[in-house]
Copies of this chain bind each other. A is one copy, B any other.
């Protein structure tokens, strides 16, 4: 049979990053391309004990369909965790469990925006949001970043300009802390400015905070959600980076009316998230393991970040890069005449993979950029990989 697919599918491209996973498995390849946590950070032994307990005490519930909006016991634990960890004061009814936070990135645009509507994102921004916007035919305007994240003065101009044209954005999407892909963090004054603008123009904010717990240096900053006195912020968190990504457990924190809409949509998306994984997350907080595991992960990733930064300082010329205080990524800008996408073939030949920065733009990509992951590779590979990258850039420059 010859199939005909919908018009929407024609617009969706396969994620360059997911495609890159192929190269990771080529012999000898060093990849800074993926966004994978390091398996060394997984609490394997602790989860084994947790699984024993679950199969002993909750086996019927852990294997049964759960409620669409998530395991009530986990929501209670999360509310307490959010209070102690991020000073976010919410009740369990403000929390909805998701199948990874990707599910929230898919659902929230559908909930807030009609096809053809506009939203505002940072440029560059997380591909998971971009692919979701594309899948739903939602357009975006983007705001530039500097070393301090989203330039909120530009955000203000953007909103004013949109308003003057009668086209208001349906939400502002931001990763204010250790941004993916750029590694930037917004300081307090910009956070406040963003919230002021959201209030003044009545625009909901989606704060995506997958990396907030992974700070390796500098001072902790309050989340937008904890600063939000007007219930404007929908906050996304995940266990992927602080427990294990394969368990696909994320959470959305928002007003009950927003979560009510999400609940309706989630019934169609997958009925409910994995029960067993939610029980694991529940016990992970309840037993306090989360509070012991995060410092271990921080120690591991701080070392890896420092190794990559030192290698870059030693090896790279004709490029600048972000110096993230946490998270998993840093952002490299080559000279303006370089094209990281064209250079990728040479990089693969030199057995080093990265993600081209262009993947992180909805429109007008900066072609001279790339994202490097520093959490997954071994210490040796971090050093060797940066050498190969520096060599690749040199060769590419000579070939221009």
A residues neighboring B (CB under 8 Å): 1-9, 12-15, 18, 21, 36-37, 39, 42, 44, 47-48, 51, 55, 59-68, 99-100, 102-103, 105-106, 110-115, 117, 128, 131-132, 134-135, 170, 199, 202, 204, 230-232, 240, 244-248, 255, 257-258, 261, 263-265, 267-277
Contacts and interface: CB of A to CB of B under 8 A. Distances in A.
Given A9-B110, A42-B64, 9 more contacts: A4-B112, A6-B170, A12-B265, A14-B263, A51-B55, A99-B273, A100-B270, A128-B267, A134-B268
Contacts of A12: 264-265, 268
Contacts of A44: 55, 59-60, 63
B245 A64 contact: yes
A108 B44 CA distance: 36
A277 to B, nearest CB: 6
Determine how many copies of this chain the complex contains.
2
Nearest 8 A-B pairs (CB), nearest first?
A246-B275, A63-B244, A39-B60, A99-B270, A274-B274, A44-B59, A131-B268, A48-B55
A6 B113 contact: yes
Contacts of A199: 1
A255 B3 CA distance: 10
Contacts of A273: 99, 248
Contacts of A42: 59-60, 63-64
Contacts of A62: 246
Given A63-B44, A246-B62, A269-B269, A264 B9 contact: yes
B274 A248 contact: yes
A61 B244 CA distance: 10
A245 B65 CA distance: 5
Contact of A267 (B3, B18, B110, B272): B18
In this complex, the member of A1, A13, A170 whose beta carbon has the largest number of chain B beta carbons within 10 angstroms is A1
Contacts of A245: 63-65
B63 A246 contact: yes
Contact of A246 (B100, B128, B276): B276
A258 to B, nearest CB: 6
Contacts of A61: 246
A19 to B, nearest CB: 10
Most chain B beta-carbon neighbours within 10 Å: one of A21, A199, A271 = A271
A1 B204 contact: yes
A102 B269 contact: yes
A111 B6 CA distance: 5
Contacts of A21: 67
